[in-house]
Structure 1
Amino acid sequence: MRGRDVIPGCTQTGSKAPKQWVQEVAPTHLEKGKGCRVWDVDGNEYVDYPMALGPVILGHNYPAVREAVARQLQDGTMFSMPHPLQVEVAELIVDSVPCAEMVRFGKNGNDATTLAAKLARAHTDRNVIATQGYHGWPDIWTAATEMDRGVPDAVGRMTESFEYDNIESLETIFEDNPGEVAAVVTTPMNLQKPTDDFLERVRELAREEGALLVFDEVLTGFRYALGGAQEYFDVEPDIACFAKGMANGFPISAIAGREDVMRLLERDDVYFSETYAGEAMSLAAAKACIETIREEDVVDHLWRQGETLIEGYNDIAAEFGLSDYTTCEGFGPRSSIQFYDTDGEMNRLAKSLFMQECLQRGILFSGSQLPSYSHDDETVEHTLAVYREAMAELADAIDAGDIESRLNGPPAGTTLRQRTGEHD
């Protein structure tokens, strides 16, 4: 593969790497997209469900966004002073997001989540960040994971992890770090709904302890509701971070929150500045995208189509007697299909075979389902028909005990180095 010679991992995004797919079956590069469909460099067409990992919420090459960007391109993309679109998009977010009183822009989710932690520390004059979920690659977040090589130990001592839907694990962090926790940073929704008023209790606990509550809405923002998961659950954080879903694939992010916290960015000693944060094409895309979501039934469509996929998949699994081996979990706007072995452990071979059968029938399947506004009824019906055929193959392979021998390439999870005998 040419990319391996010049690009570490052959990708700019870990979840798009060749090892995430059944190699020699899946395409390595996608060249074009329209609506809910994409084409690889060989011209093969697929129905897209990862949708670029979530940013393409309306559909590839969506007319309203494309036309807004084309108009802006004629006038220019970068300027020596702020473009008016900065104000217009900020006003849209303030009008749409419950916690938003002021807004600053970045280019990706990392910018927003890391700035949120910095603002919380500046506001509270504390250092410890309590974190749950994935918030990007910067040291402050990876210090709390197994991906911490290259991160100073001192950074790790300022990041403490807690479990979603486990208020006791968060209470322990406050008990172990009295008066030192600056912020609680959490993804407000995962694949399961919170129970026992978890988010409300997190909100209350953070307030009692003098810490800021930060919702990472990079994925949930504009997808679960116009105002994000905070609107859906009616729990308002102090700060929220957005990126995927706000510009239909154009690179932009936003941090929005309380005015008293956001105005810290006007101080000379609280610094955040990016040359490209005010780039006008992405702002034009964001304005067109958010206006479309606000004016049309985009969110309802995502819920409706996604729930049809979830229910349909689980019905098919039951039909073939595989409910103990595979299940679709989550909610309409975002769901994930899991595969298990007889011990209840994740089964990558079963996932790989199902993935292969979907790919060979024109469905770009990676496990995640992130429907867009362009996934119409006919497409969803076709997808479920393909799932039924793939499930039949998987059921037969489980019964015969020969899943791996049916794969036409290395299973998902096999790295390029492992394939060539090198150490990963």
Structure 2
Amino acid sequence: TLSLSHPIEAEVAERMVSLIPCAERVRFAKNGSDVTAAAIRLARAATGREHIVVCGYHGWQDWYIGSTTMYRGVPNAIRDLTTSIPFNDLEALHRVIEAKPHQIAALIMEPMTSIWPDEGYLQEVRRITEEHGIVLVFDEMLTGFRFAPGGAQEYFGVTPDLAAFGKALANGFPLSAIVGKSEILDLMPSIFFSGTFGGEMLSLAAAKVVLDRMATGEPTKRLAEMGGQLTEKVELARPSESKDFLNFSGHPSWMFMQWSIDDPETLAQAKTLLLQEMLRNGVLVLSTHDVTAAFTDEDNDHIAEAYARSLASVAGGIAEGTLLERLECEPIRPLFRVRS
């Protein structure tokens, strides 16, 4: 780590500019909350406005987490400056703009999670934000380099003003980046964005290798192929009765479990039993399939077989009313939910 800039920062930044449609400038940090918070501060500086509209999950800092059920410790004055809206709901966006005329600095959103955007939805969001002078921020911490080399903005053909990247950027090394329009990123010196390890070179060296590989398009192609193959194998292997309570949705490279159990207690028991039995069968899974380019056909076969055995246990527990008896731990309780 150096206290001054190193040429590798420019080399990695140049690669990001060449790949990501909105990237005219780049600034590095360590995690997602760093760069989503930077995007919000930049948007406020650029617009002279304070209110923020959020759509998805954007980290732990006050400006966002105060809009969730995990708001303890966040001042009300901060909470009042953020409004959350559902994905694919243009009417909700129109309502908050009407309620806060000329007050909204930014709309920050995940361009996709478990739900595909409706036809024209992202394009209309782009049009509305431009019309009202609102900075559009794509949180691409998960979609970045997964849907396409240039992220979901390349995949869907919609270019935001700013975007946040991380996770896959350095393939597990701690690195994130905010990218976007030069007219906004050039405000960086005036908002004070700094961190002791922001220029840490090992992560930047990893990112340089990652981005060179991403530029070929092969990693994202393989992610989609392996993710699609995994979903197909799971669907073929699992017991048919499991489709009554669990299905999958999302992009092939990032699939979400979608449960259809109404009773919260039964749902908690079923989810926990599935995780327990998957672990017993050698697979660690939570609620999504985050496939990697390292996955093999044999890995997918193993995961599908684990699902078949595990979902048979869950289906039996539901049918017999023995979910709790099958658990070897207390049911897991989610802290909060931020995605559909």
Structure 2-normalised TM-score? 0.94
Superposed CA deviations along residues 50-99 of structure 1, whole A, max 9, x for unmatched, are: xxxxxxxxxxxxxxxxxxxxxxxxxxxx1232111100000010000000
Secondary structure in 1 matching 2:169: coil
Deviation at 1:296, TM superposition (A): 5.7
Deviation at 1:210, TM superposition (A): 0.7
Superposed CA deviations along residues 278-305 of structure 1, whole A, max 9, x for unmatched, are: 1101101111112122236110111111
2:255 to 335, 343, 346: 335
1:270 aligns with 2:200: no
Deviation at 1:343, TM superposition (A): 5.8
Secondary structure in 2 matching 1:215: strand
Superposed CA deviations along residues 149-190 of structure 1, whole A, max 9, x for unmatched, are: 111111112111111100110111110111111111111001
Secondary structure in 1 matching 2:255: strand
Superposed CA deviations along residues 86-145 of structure 1, whole A, max 9, x for unmatched, are: 000000100000000000011100011010011111111111111111100111001211
1:238 aligns with 2:140: no
Give the distance between the partners of 1:339 and 1:81, measured in 2 at CA.
49
1:299 to 196, 220, 228: 220
1:117 to 26, 40, 58: 40
Give the distance between the partners of 1:151 and 1:342, measured in 2 at CA.
31
For 2:8, the equivalent position in structure 1 comes to 85
For 2:338, the equivalent position in structure 1 comes to none
Alignment of 1:116-135 (within 5 A): 116-135=39-58
Give the distance between the partners of 2:266 and 2:173, measured in 1 at CA.
34
Asked if the contact 2:242–2:312 (Cα under 8 Å) also holds between the matched residues in 1, the reply is no
1:412 aligns with 2:326: no
Asked if the contact 1:139–1:151 (Cα under 8 Å) also holds between the matched residues in 2, the reply is yes
Give the distance between the partners of 1:337 and 1:346, measured in 2 at CA.
16
Write the letter of the residue equivalent to 2:310: A
Deviation at 1:321, TM superposition (A): 1.9
1:323 aligns with 2:243: yes
For 1:360, the equivalent position in structure 2 comes to 280
For 1:310, the equivalent position in structure 2 comes to 231
For 2:295, the equivalent position in structure 1 comes to 375
Deviation at 1:377, TM superposition (A): 0.9
Write the letter of the residue equivalent to 1:222: F
1:211 aligns with 2:134: yes
Task: Let me know the Cα RMSD of the aligned residues.
Answer: 1.7
1:282 aligns with 2:208: no
Superposed CA deviations along residues 5-24 of structure 1, whole A, max 9, x for unmatched, are: xxxxxxxxxxxxxxxxxxxx
Write the letter of the residue equivalent to 1:333: S
Asked if the contact 1:190–1:330 (Cα under 8 Å) also holds between the matched residues in 2, the reply is yes
Asked if the contact 1:353–1:406 (Cα under 8 Å) also holds between the matched residues in 2, the reply is yes
Alignment of 1:53-202 (within 5 A): 78-202=1-125
Superposed CA deviations along residues 186-223 of structure 1, whole A, max 9, x for unmatched, are: 11001011114111111000000011110000111111
Secondary structure in 2 matching 1:194: coil
Write the letter of the residue equivalent to 1:377: D
Deviation at 1:344, TM superposition (A): 9.2
Alignment of 1:389-400 (within 5 A): 389-400=309-320
- Deviation larger for 104-113 or 325-334: 325-334
Deviation at 1:411, TM superposition (A): 2.3
Give the distance between the partners of 1:342 and 1:323, measured in 2 at CA.
15
Asked if the contact 1:314–1:328 (Cα under 8 Å) also holds between the matched residues in 2, the reply is no
Write the letter of the residue equivalent to 2:33: N
- Change in 2 beyond 3 A, CA 1:345/1:215: farther
Asked if the contact 2:3–2:196 (Cα under 8 Å) also holds between the matched residues in 1, the reply is no
- Change in 2 beyond 3 A, CA 1:258/1:236: same
Write the letter of the residue equivalent to 1:396: G
Give the distance between the partners of 2:2 and 2:8, measured in 1 at CA.
12
Give the distance between the partners of 1:125 and 1:329, measured in 2 at CA.
39
Deviation at 1:367, TM superposition (A): 2.2
